[in-house]
């Protein structure tokens, strides 16, 4: 399950299509087909039908209702494909993926593993919104892969704090940090075409994520 960043609202219609700007821009959305060559099916999730207006997922990502919505999609995917289900969140989407992991386990309908890319490590400038480092990460017992660009310029995602993130994941069965450097860069440092979005390194990043998931 791919969880987009930003507001989390993708405007996916009943046929599965979404506006081109999301297909082109958001890291997990634009790379969704790259997983197929590794034998991994992907599902992109939108904000729920009752959150299709501002603030969309703002203030909602760390709520019991969001956990329940996510578990419903996990259950549907497990029933349809009869395989493990992982969450892959990017940027603000890591607030969703990490929070769900702190509140669930596979035995009660939670995901089998989590991948956090360009993690929001500090509070994202929104009152009452916790960064991932402020969550109760000791509750997470499933495998966690942290994927981060060493040159990520977003002030909410300092690479220097990734070591603390792994340290706080005390109970997980497997954890690892995959670091990347280089690539192209332009625009807002917190947006998808900077190092925050692994610009021009997408295939390498997706291949590394896929291999790690399949190994665990």
Query: How high is the pLDDT of residue 129?
Result: 65
pTM (global) more than 0.85: yes
Nearest to 47 by CA among 65, 25, 21, 32: 65
Q: What's the pLDDT band for 107 if we cut at 50, 70, 90?
A: very high
Taking only the tens place, the pLDDT of each residue in 23-55 is 677 899 999 999 999 999 999 988 788 777 778
The DSSP bridge pattern shows strands 2-3 and 86-90 to be parallel
Kindly calculate the radius of gyration of the chain based on its CA atoms and give it in whole angstroms: 16
Residues 6+ apart with CB under 8 A from 61: 8, 92, 95, 96, 99, 129
Taking only the tens place, the pLDDT of each residue in 119-148 is 999 875 555 568 999 999 999 999 999 999
Query: How high is the pLDDT of residue 5?
Result: 87
The DSSP bridge pattern shows strands 44-45 and 2-3 to be parallel
DSSP state, 83?
A: S
216: its two tokens: 């665990």
What CATH superfamily is the domain 2-215? Alpha/Beta hydrolase fold, catalytic domain (3.40.50.1820)
Query: How high is the pLDDT of residue 95?
Result: 94
């Amino acid at each position: 399950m791919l969880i987009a960043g930003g507001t989390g609202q993708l405007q996916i219609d009943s046929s599965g299509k979404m506006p081109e700007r999301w297909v082109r821009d958001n890291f997990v959305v634009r790379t969704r087909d790259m997983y197929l060559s590794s034998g991994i099916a992907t599902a992109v999730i939108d904000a729920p039908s009752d959150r299709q207006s501002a603030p969309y997922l703002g203030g909602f990502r760390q709520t019991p209702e969001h956990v329940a919505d996510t578990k419903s999609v996990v259950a549907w995917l497990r029933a349809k494909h009869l395989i493990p289900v992982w969450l892959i969140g990017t940027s603000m989407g890591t607030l969703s993926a990490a929070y769900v992991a702190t509140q669930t386990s596979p035995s009660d309908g939670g995901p089998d593993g989590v991948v956090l890319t360009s993690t929001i490590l500090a509070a994202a400038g929104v009152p009452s919104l916790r960064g991932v480092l402020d969550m109760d990460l000791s509750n997470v017992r499933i495998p966690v892969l942290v994927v981060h660009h060493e040159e990520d310029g977003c002030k909410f995602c300092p690479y220097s704090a990734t070591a603390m993130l792994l340290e706080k994941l005390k109970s997980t069965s497997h954890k690892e940090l995959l670091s990347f450097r280089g690539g192209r860069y332009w625009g807002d440092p917190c947006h998808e075409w900077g190092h925050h979005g692994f610009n021009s390194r997408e295939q390498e990043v997706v291949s590394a994520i896929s291999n790690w998931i399949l190994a665990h």
